[in-house]
Amino acid sequence: MTEEKNKKIKIGWFTFSCCEDNTIVMTEVMNDHWQEWKKIFDFRHVRVLKSNNILDELDIAFIEGAIASQDHINKLKEIREKSKKLVAIGACAIVGMPAGQRNYFSEEQKKEIEFLTARFAALPKVLRVSDVVKVDAEVPGCPMDPNKFLEVVNNLVKEFQQ
């Protein structure tokens, strides 16, 4: 690995239970910022962009989606341990909705879906990211607001480049 690549800010983008609208918005924001991002970011773990993903040591982990299973919890904790900063992206990550709409189902509705949550070992209640790990910054919205996203990204970039 070149020295230049070592200096790049290491980015991870992780998706849990959601519709991936923020991933799409991120790829649209990229239309105007890809040349700059290509220079300053090392996209180490971004499944939507690449196949060889590495989860070793990240500077910034972006988390989209709500937490729906024990595997999700374990994965999120592992990401937190390996990341200097963790940013919750979008409504499902920050407030757990709408991905967690089953939390608010009536007893009758809950009964109807029980066999499916059991078959795939889903958690009894869908969680927010902050229910599981410490969150350093948030970008709210459904989907996230692109300007707020850029503001958070630029602030973190400044911190890492100091």
Query: Given the rule CB under 8 A, which residues bind other proteins?
Result: 15-25, 27-28, 30-32, 34-35, 37-38, 43, 46-53, 68-69, 72, 98-99, 101-102, 105, 109, 112-113, 116-117, 119-120, 122, 142-143
User: Amino acid identity, residue 37?
Assistant: W
- Residue 20, SS3? coil
Of residues 102 and 136, the one with the C-beta less far from other proteins? 102
Of residues 97 and 162, the one with the C-beta less far from other proteins? 97
CB of 22 to other proteins, least distance (A): 7
Of residues 120 and 158, the one with the C-beta less far from other proteins? 120
User: Whole-angstrom Cα distance, residue 97 to residue 140?
Assistant: 12
Rounded to the nearest 10°, the torsion over CA 85, 87, 99, 106 is 80
CB 78 within 8 A of CB 55: yes
